Every structure is written in structure tokens, then in C-alpha cells.
Structure 1
Amino acid sequence: MATDSDFVLYHYTPSKVAAIIFIVLFALMTIVYAVQSIYAARKASRILRLNPFEQVDDKTDVFRDDYYKKFKISSTACVFIPLFVGFIMEIVGYVGRALSSSDPTKITPYIIQSLLLLVAPALIAATIYMVFGRLLHVMRCQSLMLISARFGTTFFVVGDVFSFFLQAAGGGLMSKKGSTKTGSNLITAGLIVQIVFFGFFIINEIRFSVSVRRKCIFYGDISRKWFIVNASLLLSSVLILLRSIVRVVEFIQGFDGFIISHEYFIYVFDAVPMLLVIIAFCVGSFYGNIFDVIAECQTLTTTDSA
């Protein structure tokens, strides 16, 4: 199934059934989490609004407590935009694989599935980094960042964006004749950057989990919802890390390698881990989410200051 490019698109005929199954599963879980997030954000906003100790400027509707000023519920909701865009890309990527099953020689569906499934985790990672940054901030645990708290979240997000553009550029070059090797090298470099930053981030999450009891001034007063949030982020990080390691091995092996030549790898080591990520967010949201933690910490702060 060769094309006018210098590499074979598929070493097999993509399974339409498998692609459709994951389209449905990703779409369903994304909708579920969207509904959960909207409900949680509205509930947290209502709690803060009804808090009798809340210090709010009636004219600007902004918290006078500068510590929380930048973490209003609306601004926190925005950090989930990359996550939802990422999972929409996952859905469209598997639509591309479903289309490829009808004609594996067509380049457009191949590019869609190859590029979107490759870079989507980088967007999801951006949300993970930003939610963790807010978790540390509202619990006043910035000192647990391995780098300066002022630049902690920015450090991880910038690294993630750099990884995203390397992979996106590599994916674009792979579709051009004569540039496939360069594209593959860029993708490999982007994945390695993602692995390095995720590894560093996971170490930071573990450090936070171990030290939070000693560092968090709210530890004895708030529920364990912060733990659910962190556990969801940690599990998601590990899943994306493992997925990225397999993809690195895939590109190192080359276009005739064992991994790229067998379709089950894309489902077992990419589709399933990414599906488990959104499931982890959904399950975790039933027991605790970042909106609940913000509401709890903000209520405690304003109560203590009253």
C-alpha cells in the first residue's frame, strides 16, 4: 500500500470496528466529564457566593483576597479547554482511522489520524500541569515545587508546548516526500521532551503527596478531595508517560519496525491509556475535583479572616 511518498502508510488494513468503538467511548466519556465539570464549577461558584464571610467587591465582583483573586472559578474552568480540545482530537483521529479502513492508500485520513493522535496528549498534559499548579496554590503548598513556585506551572506548560510543536512539525514533515526521516526525528525529539517533563512532573506530584501534611495549613480542616484530584493527575501522568515511551520506541524502530507494523499497538498502548485518562478524570470527579478544593480553601480563608 505504498503512495507517492517514500514510506508505506499502513502495513495492515486499519480496523473500522476498533476505530468506531474508540470514537464512541472517547465521545461518551468526554461528554460525561464536560457535564461533571460544568456542574462542579457551578456548585463551587454557588458555595462561594453564599459564603457569609466572603469579601467581595460589589462593583467588580472580584475577591478582595489577592491570594485567590486569580483563581476565580471562571478562570479555573478555562484550564480545561486544552483537555477537551485534546480529547476532541482523539475522536477525530480515530475517525481518520475509520476512513482509512475503506481505502488505506488515501493520504488525508492517514495524516489526520497520525497527527491528531500524536499531539493530542500534549494538550491534555497542559491541563494536568495547570490543575496541579492551582492545587498547590490554593492549598498554599508552592514551596513543594521543585523549582521556583513563581515559574513552576509556566515551566511545565512551556515544556509541553515545545513538545507539542516539535511533534506537530514532525507530523507535518512526515507527509511530504523526502522529509519523512526529518519528520520522524522531530517527533522522536518531541516525545523525549514530553517524557522528560512528565518524569520531572511526576516526581513533583509524589513529593507533594508525601509532604503535604507538613506543609499545608489547611490539611486538618479540609476533606480528602485534594487527594482525589492529585491521584487523578498522577495516574493520568503515568499513563501518558507510558504511552509516550512506547511511541518513542515506535519511531526509533522506523517505518518498518515491529510496533508500527502491528495495529494492536496503537490501541493497547495509545488508545487504551488515553481512554483511561479521561475515565480517571470522570471517576475522580465523583469524589473530588479542583473546584471543590478551591471552594473549601477559599471558604476557610475568608472565615478565618472574618
Structure 2
Amino acid sequence: MPTVSYDAEGPPFGPIVNGTQIVFYHYRPNQEAAWGFVVLFGLAAAGHVFFFFKLRAWHFLPLVLGVIGQVFGYYARVMAHKNPNIAGPFIMQNLLILGMAPLIAATVYMSLSRIINALDLRDQMFISPKLTTVFYIIVDIGCFVTQVFGSVMPASGDPDGIALGRNLVIGGLIAQLAALSLFLFSTFHAQLRARRSTTKYAENSTLLNGSKYFITTYAITSLMTVRALIRAIEYLQGADGYIMAHEAFLYVFDAAPMVCIPALYIVIHPGRLVRDASKMERGIELHG
């Protein structure tokens, strides 16, 4: 049986298993910052639950679940402030903060398909928006699975498990970076087609104003790309790396970008474009 003890004085914090310390934190997690993002993500979740029903934006379910997961992830850091040596809060915050990002990304991918359909650009795309979305979702599921498993394995205390968990997280983040880069190209291609569009909505382009939805998609994808890049560098550096040793990186390059994404979608919600396009479609049919 392994012997487990704790260095109550710390940092670094984490259990000492058979004389080797498993580092959870190089610092005592900041309680005030964690509470701040619990509130911000909570407000974002409440806003999206409202629009989920108001706009019937059913494809926003992964984002709603992801944002709620972020609430509990940062609440786990509140608990970790009081008990930084305990595995439970560490596993919970690692699992939810890392693992919920692919859920949020899934809604971003599905939103582009709905923007394309709302602007009647389906026939002008090289690849069907539905097939493109399926591809991104499959990649996203892989990222979700690898990051979920990889994020909880360090708590096992087994060196091989820790190394495997780190590799899984790195692999998931690199796959996510590749998917996001390709998605940026897909968004650019769709916007280019929209600019050249001669569809029945061309004369009503100012009413639909599809450009702002493309710009929002660029902004959100860029935020996710920066977040995934910094997290990948963090795990490549390892447990003793500069990024993992400084809590500010988590809040500047993960928490802040991830809370900006639902905030942007509240201001410019793709569900409004889908609703307006549907109304316009009905109007064209009535007067056609």
C-alpha cells in the first residue's frame, strides 16, 4: 500500500506519495479571483438559458452545459483555496475547466452551419455545411474525451498515469488547435461566398447583416485558439513550467477568453439571424 502524507505548510501543494510529491498547485489558489469567475460564468449561463428558450437555439445546449461546467470548475478552485492538498477539488477544477472548452467549441462549430443556412449559402459551399459540422464535432468529441481523461489522471499519484494524462491533454489541445485553424479558414470561405452572393437575400443584406455574425465567429475562434495554444504550451512545459507555476496565466488566457465567448454570443446571438431569416423566408413566400 502506498504511504500518503501532506506538507501542510506548502507551497507546492499536493500529496506526498511514497516520498514523492504530486504537485497540484505551486501556489494557494486565489479565492477572490475564483469567486469572480463563478459569478461571471453564472451570469453568462443565466443569459444563455434565457435565449435558449426565447430564440429556440437548441444547438446552444453544449455551450450552456459548458458554461455551467465552468461555474463549478471555478467553484472547485474556491474550495481548493481552503484545501489545496486534497485531490477532490483539484480533480473537479481540472476536469471542468479543461473539459468544458470542447463543449463550448461544439456550439461555435454548429453556429457557422446555421449562419450559412440562414444566409442561403448552402449551394455555394464546396462541402455541405452539415458534413463540415459533423467533421468538427467528431474532432471535438475526441478532444473532449482526451482532455477529460487526461485532466483526472494526475490525481492518481502514479508516475506513468501522470505522464499518460499529460500526453492525452497535449494531444487533445493540439487536435483542437488544428480544428480551430481549419475552422477559421471555413469561416473565411463562407464569408467570401456571402460577399459574392446573388441569392434572394442579396437585396436584404443590410437587414440580415450577416457580416457581424462572421466577425463574431472570427473573434470567438481566435479567443479559443489563443486559449488552446497557451494551455498546450503549459502542458508541454510540464508541472514545473513557468505557466503552471503562475496562476495569472489561468485567468488571463483561459478564464477571461472563455467568459468572453458566451458574452459575445449574448450580444450577437446567431439565433437572431436564424429567426430573422425565417421571417424573411415566410415574407418572400407570401409575396412570391
Provide, for residues 4-51 of structure 1, a one-character-per-residue CA deviation record: whole Å limited to 9, x for no partner: 455200000001100001111111122123324433x2xxxxxxxxxx
Q: CA deviation at 1:297?
A: 4.6
Matched, 1:237 2:221: yes
Matched, 1:282 2:262: no
Question: Higher relative contact order by CA 8 Å / sep ≥ 6: 1 or 2?
Answer: 1
Matched, 1:298 2:287: no
Q: 1:3 aligns with which of 9, 15, 24?
A: 15
Normalization by structure 1: what TM-score?
0.82
Amino acid at match of 1:151: L
Answer whether contact 1:23 1:95 (CA < 8 A) is retained: yes
- 2:120 aligns with 140
Matched, 1:199 2:181: yes
Corresponding residue SS for 1:151: helix
Corresponding residue SS for 1:215: coil
Provide, for residues 97-127 of structure 1, a one-character-per-residue CA deviation record: whole Å limited to 9, x for no partner: 0000011101100111111000111001101
**Structure 2: which 5+ runs fail to align?**
1-12
Amino acid at match of 1:266: L
- 1:160 aligns with 140
- 2:211 aligns with 227
Sort the Cα spacing of 1:3 and 1:201 in 2 relative to 1 into closer, same or farther, 3 A: same
Normalization by structure 2: what TM-score?
0.87
Q: 1:17 aligns with which of 10, 15, 32?
A: 32
Mapping 1:262-277, distance limit 5 Å: 262-277=246-261
Corresponding residue SS for 2:243: coil
Answer whether contact 2:41 2:70 (CA < 8 A) is retained: yes
Q: Out of 117-126 and 216-225, give the one that drifted further.
A: 216-225
Sort the Cα spacing of 1:144 and 1:97 in 2 relative to 1 into closer, same or farther, 3 A: farther
Provide, for residues 56-104 of structure 1, a one-character-per-residue CA deviation record: whole Å limited to 9, x for no partner: xxxxxxxxxxxxxxxxxx5xx2211000000001100000000000111
Q: CA deviation at 1:150?
A: 4.7
Q: CA deviation at 1:2?
A: 2.9
Q: CA deviation at 1:203?
A: 1.1
Q: CA deviation at 1:237?
A: 1.0
Q: CA deviation at 1:209?
A: 1.7
Corresponding residue SS for 1:11: coil
Corresponding residue SS for 1:27: helix
Instruction: Work out the CA distance in 2 between the residues paired with 1:120 and 1:220.
Output: 40
Answer whether contact 1:202 1:234 (CA < 8 A) is retained: yes
Answer whether contact 1:225 1:288 (CA < 8 A) is retained: no
Sort the Cα spacing of 1:177 and 1:34 in 2 relative to 1 into closer, same or farther, 3 A: same
Provide, for residues 276-306 of structure 1, a one-character-per-residue CA deviation record: whole Å limited to 9, x for no partner: 1111112214x973433442453255236x4
Instruction: Work out the CA distance in 2 between the residues paired with 1:294 and 1:81.
Output: 21
- 1:87 aligns with 67
Answer whether contact 2:113 2:130 (CA < 8 A) is retained: no
The number of residues matched between the two structures is 269
Instruction: Work out the CA distance in 2 between the residues paired with 1:144 and 1:26.
Output: 38
Amino acid at match of 2:185: I
- 1:129 aligns with 109
Sort the Cα spacing of 1:234 and 1:291 in 2 relative to 1 into closer, same or farther, 3 A: same
- 2:86 aligns with 106
**Structure 1: which 5+ runs fail to align?**
42-73
Corresponding residue SS for 2:240: coil
Corresponding residue SS for 2:203: coil
Amino acid at match of 1:115: L
Amino acid at match of 1:3: P
Could you say what the CA RMSD is over the residues aligned between the two structures, in angstroms? 2.0
Q: CA deviation at 1:226?
A: 2.4
Instruction: Work out the CA distance in 2 between the residues paired with 1:255 and 1:144.
Output: 48
Answer whether contact 1:126 1:160 (CA < 8 A) is retained: yes
Q: 1:30 aligns with which of 34, 42, 45?
A: 45
Mapping 1:47-66, distance limit 5 Å: none
Sort the Cα spacing of 1:256 and 1:238 in 2 relative to 1 into closer, same or farther, 3 A: same
Amino acid at match of 2:242: F
- 2:97 aligns with 117
